[in-house]
Amino acid sequence: MRRRHQALTPTMRGCRTIVSVQPHALRSGALAASLAVAFVAMLSAGVQPASDLQPELEAVLTGDLHFSPAEVVALERGKVVKHILPPTAPEEFGVAGAVRVEGSRERLIAAYRDIVRFKKSEAVPEIGRFSDPPSSSDLDALTTGRDDFDLRGCKVNDCDIRLPASEIQRIAASVDWKLPDADAHASALFKQMVLANARAYVSDAPGRITQYDDGATPVLPVAAGEELIRTTARYLDTLKPGLSAHIRCFWSNYLEGAEDFLYWTKEKPGISPFISVTHVTIVPSGTHQSLATSRDVYSSRYIDGSLSMMIASDVVGDPRKFYLVYMNRSRASGLRGPMATLRRAIVEHKAKGSLELNLREIKARIECCDR
């Protein structure tokens, strides 16, 4: 669904400035002039080149995204930088990173609009973009089998994937597991649920999934997503006033120049596959920047809620180069309880590694074809 609504501190290191004063200089005022010249020379010697980061981007990096001065220097020198963001809740993890790219920001945004080609990879073997409004045919390319999930014996508080109680009960009542086509029938019901949730999301109609009942403790994905928006609203709205409200309810909060669409993926992160639906908003941020946010709409495993932002910001004075910045905050109930510290360490390690790999791949993709 694509819509348009919408320097180093001046100093002299290792030496002293010596001014030879003659008696007549005091009488003629030459001392004052000599001191003035020496002071100007000292200032000139200490001046460093101005940063080529757009001012609003630099403010967000060093403030909200916790980039250290050393990381900013490394970024300006062409290094990939990344770090873990401090969580705002026990079940939250976050990561931020950036890289300088020699190429056009417009090329990146155009590539991102083609989300299927942009994201498809070995880790994302299946992906599709929803129509406006979402259609059942949009999910034709999605395949599901026992390797993706097993709904035999699925019941409330004990199911292989994230589902609301109503869908768990529907599958139990509708699928005869003794029949040879039982798995296909269950997969069809799953697709119907995904489609109904997408349609409800884009129209603010009844039917949106607000609770997962697959485990002992219910998960509230809508509440998790809205809390993530609330905790990031300050810098979202610094970069684009009104962006946080638009992401929260894009169907009713107009935002000038915004493009919105939903897409689905089947991803294989190295453990059990998961299927997700994501809402993307692409919007200009002033003359020299573009933003793309992604909000989790549904995840069959792992994620309670997720919000990410990509910033493409022209290098000051040279629109043939830009800085690519990525931030993600996610919440996962698996980060609570026993072994939470170990789980967090594993998740954060993988998140940093994946972020660096993705930044390097995007940089290489843009630079190879935009010279």
What's the CATH number where 251 sits?
3.30.530.20
Sheet holding 81-85, edge to edge: 81-85, 92-102, 318-331, 305-315, 289-299, 274-284, 259-267, 126-129
What pLDDT, on the 0 to 100 scale, is given for residue 371? 56
Q: How far is CA 352 from the centre of its chain?
A: 13
Q: Within a 10 A sphere around the Cβ of 42, how many other Cβ atoms?
A: 13
> Does 237 lie in the same domain as 124?
yes
Rounded to the nearest integer, the mean pLDDT of the chain is: 88
> Does 333 lie in the same domain as 267?
yes
What are the pLDDT digits (tens) for 249-290?
998 999 999 999 999 999 998 678 999 999 999 999 989 999
Would you say residue 301 has pLDDT above 50? yes
> Does 36 lie in the same domain as 79?
no
Is residue 301 in a domain?
Answer: yes
> Does 363 lie in the same domain as 321?
yes
Is residue 20 in a domain?
Answer: yes
What are the pLDDT digits (tens) for 202-221?
999 999 999 999 999 999 99
> Does 111 lie in the same domain as 82?
yes
> Does 110 lie in the same domain as 35?
no
Would you say residue 84 has pLDDT above 50? yes
Would you say residue 113 has pLDDT above 50? yes
> Does 346 lie in the same domain as 230?
yes
Is residue 38 in a domain?
Answer: yes
Q: Are 151 and 145 in contact (CB under 8 A)?
A: no
pLDDT confidence of 370, banded at 50, 70, 90?
low
What are the pLDDT digits (tens) for 35-65?
444 444 444 444 455 789 999 999 999 999 9
CA atoms within 13 A on the CB side of 4: 2
Is residue 204 in a domain?
Answer: no
pLDDT confidence of 1, banded at 50, 70, 90?
low
Is residue 137 in a domain?
Answer: yes
> Does 138 lie in the same domain as 20?
no
Q: What is the pTM of this model?
A: 0.85
Is residue 336 in a domain?
Answer: yes
Q: Within a 10 A sphere around the Cβ of 19, how many other Cβ atoms?
A: 11
> Does 266 lie in the same domain as 337?
yes
Distances, alpha carbon 157 to alpha carbons 154, 217, 332, 346, 371, in Å? 9, 7, 17, 26, 55
> Does 224 lie in the same domain as 104?
yes
Residue 276, domain extent: 55-148+217-369
Biggest alpha carbon distance in the chain?
Answer: 111
Rounded CA separation 33/26 (Å): 11
> Does 64 lie in the same domain as 18?
no
3-state secondary structure of 172: helix
Is residue 197 in a domain?
Answer: no
> Does 236 lie in the same domain as 327?
yes
Is residue 153 in a domain?
Answer: no
Q: Are 148 and 268 in contact (CB under 8 A)?
A: no
Domain count, the chain: 2
Looking at residues 125-144, what average pLDDT do you find? 96
Rounded CA separation 282/278 (Å): 13
Looking at residues 27-38, what average pLDDT do you find? 46
* Residue 275, C-beta contacts closer than 8 angstroms, at least 6 positions apart: 142, 144, 148, 161, 194, 264, 265, 266, 267, 298, 299, 300
